[in-house]
Amino acid sequence: MAGVTLKTVAKAVGVSPSTVSNAYNKPDQLSAALRERILATAQELGYAGPDASARALRSGKAGAIGVLFTDKLAYAFSDPYAVGFLAGLAEVAEEFSTSLLLMPLSSADIVGGSSAVQQAAIDAAAIFCVPSEHPAVDILAARGIPSVSTDRGGHPGLSWVAIDEVEAAAKLGKHLNRLGHRDIVVLVDDKAEAVGETGIDVDFDEITCTDCEMRIQGLQKELPDARIRLVTGGHNAFASGLKAAEYALDSHDRPTAIVGLSDVQALGAMEAMKVRGLIPGRDLTVAGFDDIPAAEPAGLTTIRQPIKDKGRAVGRILLDPAATERQILMPTQLVVRSSSGPAPRH
Amino acid sequence: MAGVTLKTVAKAVGVSPSTVSNAYNKPDQLSAALRERILATAQELGYAGPDASARALRSGKAGAIGVLFTDKLAYAFSDPYAVGFLAGLAEVAEEFSTSLLLMPLSSADIVGGSSAVQQAAIDAAAIFCVPSEHPAVDILAARGIPSVSTDRGGHPGLSWVAIDEVEAAAKLGKHLNRLGHRDIVVLVDDKAEAVGETGIDVDFDEITCTDCEMRIQGLQKELPDARIRLVTGGHNAFASGLKAAEYALDSHDRPTAIVGLSDVQALGAMEAMKVRGLIPGRDLTVAGFDDIPAAEPAGLTTIRQPIKDKGRAVGRILLDPAATERQILMPTQLVVRSSSGPAPRH
DNA sequence: TCGTTTTTCTAGATCGATTTAGAAGAACGA
DNA sequence: TCGTTCTTCTAAATCGATCTAGAAAAACGA
Collapsed DSSP state (helix, strand, coil) of residue A148: strand
Q: How far apart are CA B327 and CA B334, in angstroms?
A: 23
A63–B77 C-beta distance less than 8 A: no
Q: Is A211 exposed, middle or buried (0-12, 13-18, 19+ CB in 10 A)?
A: buried
Please report the pLDDT score of residue B318 as a whole number.
97
The reported pLDDT for the residue numbered B107 is 58
Count of other CB atoms within 10 angstroms of residue B28: 8
Residue B229's CB is within 10 A of a number of other CB atoms, namely 15
Overall fold of domain A165-305 = Rossmann fold (3.40.50)
N residues, chain A = 346
Q: How far apart are CA A269 and CA A285, in angstroms?
A: 10
Range in A149-158, A297-306, B74-83, B271-280 the model is least confident about: A149-158
| 3-state class (DSSP) for residue B329 | strand
Does B51 reach chain A within 8 Å, measured CB to CB? Answer: yes
- Does the CB of A3 fall within 7 Å of any strand D atom? yes
B55 and A CB contact within 8 Å: yes
**Contact A294/B at CB under 8 A:** yes
Is strand D within 7 Å of residue A29 (CB)?
no
Dihedral (Cα; B40, B46, B51, B52), 10-degree rounding: 90
Assess whether pLDDT exceeds 50 at residue A112: no
CA distance A246 to A269: 7
Rg (CA), chain A: 25
- Answer yes or no: is A57 CB < 7 A from strand D: yes
Query: What Å value separates CA B66 and C1' C17?
Result: 23
Cα angle: A265, vertex A175, A299; to 5 degrees? 45
CB-neighbour burial class of residue B84 (10 A; exposed 0-12, middle 13-18, buried 19+): buried
Closest CA to A34 of A49, A14, A48: A14
Report the distance separating Cα A38 and Cα A43, nearest Å.
9
In the chain, the amino acid numbered A230 is L
Q: Is strand C within 7 Å of residue B57 (CB)?
A: yes
Q: If DSSP codes are grouped into helix, strand and coil, which group holds residue B214?
A: helix
Rounded Cα distance between B336 and A153, Å, is: 49
- A151: Cβ–Cβ under 8 A, 6 or more apart, which residues? A127, A129, A130, A131, A132, A160, A162, A210, A211
DSSP class of A343: P
Q: Tens of pLDDT along B15-38? A: 999 999 999 999 999 999 999 999
Q: Is A135 on the interface with B (CB under 8 A)?
A: no
β B257-260/B200-201 pair status = unpaired
Structure confidence at residue A195 (pLDDT): 67
Mean of the per-residue pLDDT values for chain B?
92
| Residue ranges of chain B that CATH labels 3.40.50.2300 | 64-163+308-330, 165-305
What per-residue confidence (pLDDT) applies to B111? 46
Contact B332, B305 (CB under 8 A): yes
Percentage of chain A surpassing pLDDT 90? 77
Give residue B155's pLDDT band: very low, low, confident or very high (50, 70, 90). confident
Cβ of B72 less than 7 A from strand C: no
Contacts of A144 in chain B (CB under 8 A): 1-2, 48
| Residue A43: predicted pLDDT | 94
CA dist., res. B45 & res. B10, Å (int)? 11
Tens-place pLDDT, residues A220-240: 999 999 999 999 999 899 999
Q: Which of B182, B199, B198, B109 is nearest to B343 (CA)?
A: B182
Question: Which residues of chain A are within 8 Å of residue B108 when distances are taken between CB atoms?
Answer: 97
Q: How confident is the model at residue B109 (pLDDT cuts 50, 70, 90)?
A: very low
* Predicted local distance difference test score (pLDDT) of residue A183: 97
CB of A62 within 7 Å of some strand C atom: no
Closest to B41 in 3D by CA, of B60, B25, B19 = B19
Residues of A in contact with B112 (CB under 8 A): 24, 27
What's the CATH architecture for B64-163+308-330?
3-Layer(aba) Sandwich (3.40)
Band (pLDDT 50/70/90 cuts) for residue A345 is confident
Q: Mean pLDDT for chain A?
A: 92
| DSSP result, B153-206 | TS-TT-EEEEE-HHHHHHHHHHHHHHTT--EEEEEE---SS---SS-EE--GGG
Q: How far is B171 from chain A (nearest CA, A)?
A: 29
The letter for the amino acid at B16 is: S
Coil vs helix vs strand at A133: coil
Query: Where do you find CATH 1.10.260.40 in chain B?
Result: 6-50
Give the count of Cβ contacts less than 8 A between chain A and B: 180
| Residue B303, helix vs strand vs coil | strand
Q: What is the mean pLDDT of residues A37-54?
A: 94
The answer to whether the beta carbons of residues A190 and A198 sit under 8 Å apart is no
Instruction: Give the best residue of A26, A79, A103, A137 to mutate against chain B (max B CB count within 10 A).
Output: A103
What residue is closest to D11 (Cα–C1')? B16
If you average pLDDT over residues A123-135, what whole number do you get? Answer: 90
Cα gap A295→A301, rounded to integer Å = 8
Interface check for B90 against chain A (CB to CB < 8 A): the answer is yes
Is the CB of B34 within 7 Å of strand D?
yes
User: Is B70:B76 a contact under the CB 8 Å cutoff?
Assistant: yes
- Residue B177 φ then ψ, to 5°: -60, -45
* Partners of B327 in the β-ladder: B160
> Would the pLDDT of B146 be above 90?
yes
pLDDT of residue B195: 67
- Distant-in-sequence, close-in-space partners of B138: CB < 8 Å, separation ≥ 6: none
Predicted confidence (pLDDT) per residue in B209-222, tens digit: 888 999 999 999 99
Encode pLDDT of A254-290 as tens digits: 999 999 999 999 999 999 999 999 999 999 999 999 9
pLDDT of residue B208: 77
Q: What is the pLDDT of residue B300?
A: 98
Which of B57, B72, B90 lies closest to A54 in CB terms? B57
For residues A264 and A220, the answer to whether their CB atoms sit within 8 Å is no
The letter for the amino acid at B180 is: G
Q: In chain A, which residue ranges form alpha helices assigned H by DSSP?
A: 6-13, 17-25, 32-45, 52-59, 73-76, 80-95, 116-119, 135-142, 165-178, 210-222, 238-250, 263-275, 295-298, 307-319
Judge whether residue B108 has pLDDT over 70.
no
DSSP H stretches of helix in chain B: 6-13, 17-25, 32-45, 52-59, 73-76, 80-95, 116-119, 135-142, 165-178, 210-222, 238-250, 263-275, 295-298, 307-319
CA dist A43 and B160 (Å) reads 26
- The C-alpha angle B335, B340, B342, rounded to 5 degrees, equals 130
Best of A20, A53, A78 to disrupt the B interface by mutation (most B CBs within 10 Å)?
A53
Q: Is B111 near chain A, with CB under 8 Å?
A: yes
User: What CATH topology corresponds to A6-50?
Assistant: 434 Repressor (Amino-terminal Domain) (1.10.260)
pLDDT of residue B192: 64
Whether B119 sits with its Cβ under 7 A from any strand C atom: the answer reads no
Positions in chain D where some atom is under 7 Å from a protein CB: 7-12, 14-21
Least confident of A135-139, A276-280, B154-158, B190-194: B190-194
Residue in A with minimal Cα distance to B98: A116
CA–C1' span, B322 to C9, in Å? Answer: 50
> Does residue B201 register a pLDDT over 90?
no
| Radius of gyration for the alpha carbons in chain B, expressed in angstroms and rounded | 25
> When comparing pLDDT for A313 and A152, which is higher?
A313
Cβ contact B78:B85 at 8 Å: no
Instruction: Provide the pLDDT confidence category of residue A95 given band limits of 50, 70 and 90.
Output: very high
pTM metric for this prediction: 0.92
Type of residue numbered B135: P
Q: How would DSSP label each residue in A12-58?
A: HHTS-HHHHHHHHH-GGGS-HHHHHHHHHHHHHHT--SS-HHHHHHH
Cα–Cα distance for residue pair A255/A325, rounded to 1 Å:
43
CA B26 to C1' C27 (Å) is 22
Which chain B residues are closer than 8 Å to A84 by Cβ?
Answer: 77
Residue B19, CB, less than 7 Å from strand D? yes
CA-to-CA distance for A243 and A271, rounded, in angstroms?
10
Please provide residue A232's backbone torsions phi and psi, each rounded to the nearest 5 degrees. -130, 155
Give contacts of A65 with chain B, Cβ < 8 Å. none
Q: What is the pLDDT of residue A219?
A: 98
